[in-house]
Amino acid sequence: MFSNYLIGMREGLEASLVVCILIAYLVKTGRRDALRPIWTGISVAVALALGFGCVLEFGSQELTFQAQEALGGSLSILAVGLVTWMVFWMRRTARHLKSELHGRLDAALAMGTGALVATAFLAVGREGLETALFVWASVHAAGDGTPRPLIGVALGLATAVLLGWLFYRGALRINLAKFFTWTGGMLVVVAAGVLAYGVHDLQEADLLPGLNSLAFDISGTIPPDSWYGTLLKGVFNFQPDPTVVQVTVWLLYLVPTLALFLAPVGFASGKGKVKSPDEQGTQPDDRNSAQSKAPRT
């Protein structure tokens, strides 16, 4: 449940910050008339993400077992690739996200309502689709037959919305650079578990060999149905009897990816920390922030 909560909060907070930046910029520059197209684009993006998740969940139920495992394994690996790209992208570009969004919004304002809808849709839609895919893969990997993974995701998303609102109101200020670094590192660990589970799915679909070649089996020490076995599976997608291929892939992904992510570059070597929208001058009540601060192209 914790891993799914982390996914929902981490991914949801990125989308929340995007929304905060867009809304605050329009309010600050006196373009409240453009808020409705922005909210329309955001709503369409959220609906698309929910629809994509439903297609993944209910569409796969009509397949044979082997086809389900092949689809689940393939989408799990794709989800890991996307989330890995996402955490590195956010680590590298978060400091410039505000100016980038402002530039897109200025161009959309000049083009009209349709462009505003498209800008909001594209800004939030990518995050939504990535979140839907990774959440589906993580819930599929948990596979405990309970609603706890979905509850965890829902709580994480609710937390993200609350944090986004507090940032917008200026009631919360935290070091976002450190926040995204630590949560990104934990997300890499979760992704490693999802990747190992995806490989196991492909083995069960007879697309990869070695299904019966176990690296170890500690089911007697850590029973999967025990509270600590359930906890380990929920947090790390831990499996007490993984195959050799699973362990090999897990190590080959986790060690270099985590080392690169935590290396002293990007945030760590940046000239300043990532600030909340109000700290960056996007607080709508900050009358001292001139409209001339809008990025120029």
pLDDT in tens, 150-204: 788 888 888 888 888 887 777 666 666 777 778 788 888 888 988 998 999 999 9
Q: Quote the pLDDT of residue 142.
A: 65
Do residues 171 and 19 make contact, with C-beta atoms less than 8 angstroms apart?
A: no
pLDDT score at 257:
94
Predicted pLDDT at 287:
39
**pLDDT at residue 174, rounded to an integer:** 64
pLDDT for position 203: 93
Q: 76 near 138, Cβ under 8 Å?
A: no
Average confidence (pLDDT) over 241-262: 93
- pTM (2 decimals)? 0.69
User: What is the C-alpha to C-alpha distance for residues 241 and 119, in angstroms, rounded to an integer?
Assistant: 47
Residue with more model confidence, 251 or 31: 251
Amino acid letter for position 119: T
**Is the pLDDT reported for residue 90 higher than 60?**
yes
Q: Assess whether pLDDT exceeds 60 at residue 272.
A: no
Give the whole-angstrom CA distance, residue 178 versus residue 184.
10
State residue 297's pLDDT score: 40
Mean local confidence (pLDDT), 131-142: 78
Average pLDDT, the chain: 78
In this predicted structure, what is the pLDDT of residue 202? 94
The tens digit of pLDDT for each residue in 31-71 reads: 888 888 888 988 998 899 889 888 887 877 777 888 888 98
The pLDDT value given to residue 145 = 61
Q: Torsion angle of alpha carbons 219, 74, 72, 139, nearest 10°?
A: 70
- Summarize the confidence of residues 288-295 as an average pLDDT: 42
CA atoms within 13 A on the CB side of 38: 22
